[in-house]
Structure 1
Amino acid sequence: MRALLDRTFREAGGRVIAALAASFRDLDLAEEAFAEACARAIERWGSAPPVDPAAWLYAVGRRWALDRLRRRITAAGYRPDVPAPPPTPEDQAMALDDPIPDERLRLIFVCCHPAMNAEARVALTLRTVCGLTTPQIAAAFLTPEPTLAQRLVRAKRKIAEAGVPFEVPGPDHWPERMDAVLSTLEIAYAQAHADAAGLGPNADLAVEVLGLTALLARLVSEDAEVQALAATVRFTEARRPARLAVDGTMIPLTLQDTTLWDTGLIAEADLYLARSAALSQASRTRPGPRALQAAIHGAHAGRRKTGVTPWAAILGIYNALLGLRDDPVIRTNRAVALAEVEGPESGLAALDLTPIPGWLPWHAARGDMLVRIGHDAEALHEFEAALALGPSAAEQRYLAACRDTSRSRLSPFSA
């Protein structure tokens, strides 16, 4: 029973909350109603789980929300939306031409409303539609959890005060929401990809984002950044078969067996990347940040044919990317490329210009560079800091092996 509820929460939670929010124009009430429905499911699903768990949660949540509204003295004049009449044959025919035919993607567009600032709408969409937790979203934005929680509260308050409609925007309004939509998909995929074993609670988002980016690339075929994101997700997902050793330890990109990479996904990615480049060239615009990120992944994918990673070219792309998206994550990744081109001392110096204590990839990268210059005591500290951040099992095994190697080199009894 609990497994069914957990699966329903992951797969349909965002959909149910968004549907409740659309009905009552109150996101806080929708989340409370969904939480109450889940609590009642724990009590009642044991002996006879429903045929449609998501519909059950919506119905119970809606009844609870209506009861709650009736008890609100301050909401005496409030009336929830009148339920829509049963669809006519004409309505059903029109639905076949829905401009956004995927439910999750529709909800992402709905929640990425321009009334909020970019970061707030992405965070709220990740929380509401994709089901990410507040700590996960805070980590993605490199923001303290209490700060992120406050931003979510303010965003929901702004939605309520501004009367933001929870409705699917027409194509004319897509451009003003597109960057937030793409950022939402990026972060959702990154959360799924972070677990090399694919066993975490958000693992299903990886396959879903593959489908959503393909759909979006078809719907918005003339947007170079949309095509580029579809390429990046495929380049990255193609490496999944090589990311895990037999004993369950994560294998970093530079050590992966490229013969295990999914050539079908790489071929798809190449097509999307070429499409993105052609669109930029046709419009006489410089490649955007997502196009440059896709180019970096494409360069890594080239190792399958040449056996060599073109680090100098990758560093050059990172240099260009910093001019468009200068953030600590890009700087950390650039430092890794710099270490390969100019040596670990240069990479370490660049890494230390933008310290990100508490961010696992930064500690892991710094530990690796310290090992390469023989500073095992400092490297040990970095690997222990990374392990303290609670990585998934596969990443934990890898970091523990790095830590133990550094520790053994410091021991007078090591061979």
Structure 2
Amino acid sequence: MSNFEFSSLENRDNTMATKWDKREEIFGSQDILPMWVADSDWQTAPAVKKRLQEKVEEGIFGYSFADQSIYQAVQDWLQRRFDLAVKKDWLIFDTGVVPAINFTLKAITEPDEAVIVQPPVYRPFYGAVKNNNCQLLKNELIKTNNYYQMDLNHLEKQIKESNQQGNRVRAMIFCSPHNPVGRVWQKEELLKLLRLLKKEDIYLLSDEIHLDLILPGYQHTPVLKLLLARDEFKEYRKKVISLMAASKTFNIAGLHTSYTIIESRELRAAYQKAKEGFATGNSPFGLLALKSAYNEGEEWLEAQLKYLEANYKFLQQYIKENIPQIKVTEEEGTYLIWLDCSQLGFEKDEQLIEFMNKNAKVGLNPGRWFGDAGSMHMRLNIACPRQRLEEGLKRIKTAVASLENG
């Protein structure tokens, strides 16, 4: 039995929590049960909380930097959890994965070059491409029986066509594990992708922020681990950027701390150059939270993973028995569930969104937020107490029942 608490109904109202205190602004009502933003509705690991309280007691919050102990915590975590050996020089600390993606594209792209994304995918990927005046190359995932796979044959054709049309394909922003469809990519899939990108000389930005949130039976493989283990990628490794954080894992996203791994000295220099002039220093709270999470939070993480697994199984069973019109995409990682709502009978996404907001009174991420490929889908966050998850599902069940009877 876990000594850690995940079932307490924490009150996040009036805490400046984006997820809770923007309900009226985003969903049009305070009565909405928010199940959207990718943060958790439970407290972080006790070790993290304790260390931050100690820092508050110090009472001095001046400029800070990552000392050797911070680097060591990250290196130890990656070695212990993923058998990935990362050198200190490869690590750069940032204020978040999204800023890091933007900095990377700024460093490596020219206007009108093309950048690959794989819809339906995390919305800020699209924004990063636009921010850097690049062209979007959308390589949609293939969906079969509520399970998604990469379409690399189509991607190869798309790359050639884009290059021929004068929009050189320069980079790919990759989501691993994938948000929102919940895939944990297998080694064979990753190797096929890496070999294609190597052949076409394309940079890879691998967003692995959900790397620790994996369901039993699956294993996250960092792309860098595959690259380091094979001589065939000795040169291509210089074009790969890995983006990671403890923020989703330990519910510390508001502390704005992530780390970027770049093996190539030249690319690191270009990346640092791209950051010049921006507020990229880290808060001492973010750095200390990262360190204590990685050094002392592993037992808490394992307990959290068990709770998330139980929540996922509960959701699967509840929807199967009570709302069979909604199909649950097979989940392998993250705590974000991708729901296929196409059988509810709506003709437009706007109708589905209004139904969830006004009828069910649950705040979910609309599938279209992740691109056109997300049409008629919704994303639901299960990182919340079971009682709250059940309440959200009951609201959807009642609304769907009234829809069928009405």
Q: TM-score, normalised by structure 2?
A: 0.23
Q: Which has the higher contact order (CA 8 A, sep 6+)?
A: 2
More strand, by proportion:
2
Q: TM-score, normalised by structure 1?
A: 0.23
